[in-house]
Amino acid sequence: MISTSVNELVQTLGRQQRVVYALLLREMRNRYGKYYLGYLWAFIMPVFRVAVLTVLHALIFESNTIYGAPPVVFFFLGVWPFLLFLNAYMRSIGSFSSYRSLFVYRTVKPIDAWIAAVVTELAIYLIILILCYLAAVWWGLDFAIDKPLEVIAVVALVYILGATMGLIVETISVNIPDVGRAGRLARRPLFWASGVFFTIDMLPPAIKPYLIWNPVLHATDLIRGMALSEYTPEGSLSYLCYWTLGMTIFALMYYRQHRFDVASR
Amino acid sequence: MILLENISKSYPLEEGGRRQVFNNLSLVIPPGVNVGMLGANGAGKSTLLRLIGGSEVPDRGRVTGISKVSPPFGLASGISTAMTGRDNVKFASRINGDNTQAMSERIARVEAFAEIGEYFLQPVRTYSSGMRARLAFAISMAFDYEYYLMDELTAVGDRAFRMKAEAAFKEKRGRACVILASHSAKQLLAECEAGIYVGNGTAAYFPSIRDAIKIYHANES
């Protein structure tokens, strides 16, 4: 009895893995296949943002270090975790609708399309991160990371947070399309409020009590604390943990409750 | 043999509330017969095909006795318009668990059957509806099912395509059956022995397709 159900589980997982893999290959091609510069765009976007922030900083402020680090490094440490969150979130919104016509296959479920979208995005961003790091070293900006495991933990948490928040928005927008639109509008306020170009320590006392609720701000702050020797982060790893755990549980429960509506639309 | 027991199915409406498509529907489709499905637009033919094909789960009731049933292929289902014809075949092949060799055989079969020339390597969104039908039909025929579900697919093709579809059905006869949703009484008479009439929130099975067509015409006028 037990062995048959284990067998069934293994078969089901095998089937789902095939489906996710097939969707993943689709994602890879659909994402950047239509542009001449292809995957280079995924590299250009974060580099462009860091460059703009660095130039603005140089124009406005006199100093050429922030917490003892060159501004380029400081902004890179904010842009990169933020974009990781934002892309997981933005890619999840719309992940169902692009494969809707394939849900007629019994084995292809909307959540497979979401997994494929999220995994593809992560793979692309990890490659970019490595390229950026190599470029920085070649440039002569050698910065050592003291606590690599904690960096990985923060990166994973903030990524899952973005992906599951996107899953919630996408699931709701199946029945209420306006939610998908509204969800996409969040991108700009998030950019200003998530510590891309500031630390918690820099916040004026008037707005700090409000912005401190934003879990993404904690993530960028923690990353900076781990990489910049002169900055002690105020962000809390456990706060970020609670958010990610809560969002994950809620997103999966909400999707499960609405999974048939999603498949039929 | 396909058994539908006490099926209820509703969809959420955009303005709130739900639309009940089927209420407590029971239906037996005996083994070994080709079935034509008739009904007005919006009566629930596609929904019934999707329930039979397992693409959708009923709110209540169950679908059992299922042998190997294809997903319901139609102009807007089963193929992705963002992908090329060839990539659609690869996708179907991958989720079917084919190895590389089986996949290339599948691609060759579909390409030969669909006869859409260079369009095979173009995104499906650039296809005419006739070409889409050819591709969807060819993909479904490239896999072995016991039931092939077709949603208005053979109606849009030209004469050559219809002849080809007919020949393909004949070739599979004995090993597999088709359940065909169509508005063309002539085509259903040619392909099917039995019929299902869908209307008024329910569906009825008729051992003779002629009876199903009669009911359909009586309700239409």
* Residue range B44-79, pLDDT digits in tens: 898 999 999 888 889 899 998 767 899 998 887 888
pLDDT of residue A142: 67
B50 Cβ under 8 Å from any chain A Cβ = yes
Q: Where are the domains of chain B?
A: 1-70+178-221
Tokens of A207: 């707005």
The answer to whether residue B82 scores a pLDDT higher than 70 is yes
Q: Do B91 and A102 touch (CB under 8 A)?
A: yes
Across chain A, what does the average pLDDT equal?
87
The answer to whether residue A36 scores a pLDDT higher than 70 is no
Q: Do B57 and A103 touch (CB under 8 A)?
A: no
Across chain B, what does the average pLDDT equal?
89
Predicted TM-score of the model (pTM): 0.88
pLDDT of residue A2: 63
A132 Cβ under 8 Å from any chain B Cβ = no
pLDDT of residue A262: 75
The answer to whether residue A3 scores a pLDDT higher than 80 is no
Domain range spanning residue A198? 16-264
Q: Do B72 and A263 touch (CB under 8 A)?
A: no
pLDDT interval class at B147 (50, 70, 90): very high
pLDDT of residue B120: 95
Q: Do A108 and B95 touch (CB under 8 A)?
A: yes
Domain spanning B1-70+178-221: which superfamily? P-loop containing nucleotide triphosphate hydrolases (3.40.50.300)
pLDDT of residue A125: 84
Q: Within a 10 A sphere around the Cβ of A142, how many other Cβ atoms?
A: 9
B79 Cβ under 8 Å from any chain A Cβ = yes
Q: Does residue A257 belong to any structural domain of this protein? A: yes
Q: Do A22 and B87 touch (CB under 8 A)?
A: no
Q: Which residues of A touch B94 (CB under 8 A)?
A: 18, 21-22, 25
pLDDT interval class at A215 (50, 70, 90): very high
B126 Cβ under 8 Å from any chain A Cβ = no
For B11, which of A30, A104, A264 is closest by C-beta distance? Answer: A264
pLDDT of residue B35: 94
The answer to whether residue A117 scores a pLDDT higher than 60 is yes
pLDDT of residue B220: 75
Which residue in A246, A243, A196, A250 sits closest to A220, CA to CA? A196
Q: Does residue A126 belong to any structural domain of this protein? A: yes
Question: Model ipTM?
Answer: 0.85
* Residue range B5-48, pLDDT digits in tens: 999 998 877 777 888 889 999 999 998 899 999 998 888 898 99
- CA–CA gap between residue B154 and residue B42 (Å, rounded): 19
Number of domains in chain A: 1
Q: Within a 10 A sphere around the Cβ of B174, how many other Cβ atoms?
A: 8
pLDDT interval class at A228 (50, 70, 90): confident
Could you please report the per-residue DSSP string of B141-162? HTS--SEEEEESTTTSS-HHHH
pLDDT of residue A41: 78
The answer to whether residue A14 scores a pLDDT higher than 60 is yes
Q: Does residue A10 belong to any structural domain of this protein? A: no
A188 Cβ under 8 Å from any chain B Cβ = no
Q: Does residue A136 belong to any structural domain of this protein? A: yes
CA–CA min distance A231, chain B (Å): 48
B82 Cβ under 8 Å from any chain A Cβ = yes
Q: Does residue A179 belong to any structural domain of this protein? A: yes
Q: Do A103 and B55 touch (CB under 8 A)?
A: yes
pLDDT of residue A226: 86
* Residue range B194-205, pLDDT digits in tens: 999 998 888 999
For B82, which of A18, A30, A106 is closest by C-beta distance? Answer: A30
B217 Cβ under 8 Å from any chain A Cβ = no
pLDDT of residue A265: 56
- CA–CA gap between residue B211 and residue B221 (Å, rounded): 16
- What is the interface size between A and B, counted as CB pairs within 8 Å? 62
pLDDT of residue B75: 82
Q: Do B91 and A106 touch (CB under 8 A)?
A: no
- CA–CA gap between residue B52 and residue B1 (Å, rounded): 11
For B55, which of A19, A26, A104 is closest by C-beta distance? Answer: A104
Average pLDDT over residues A108-129: 90
Q: Does residue A164 belong to any structural domain of this protein? A: yes
Q: Do A101 and B87 touch (CB under 8 A)?
A: no
pLDDT of residue A1: 54
* Residue range A229-247, pLDDT digits in tens: 888 888 899 999 999 999 9
Do B185 and B177 meet the contact criterion of CB atoms below 8 Å apart?
no
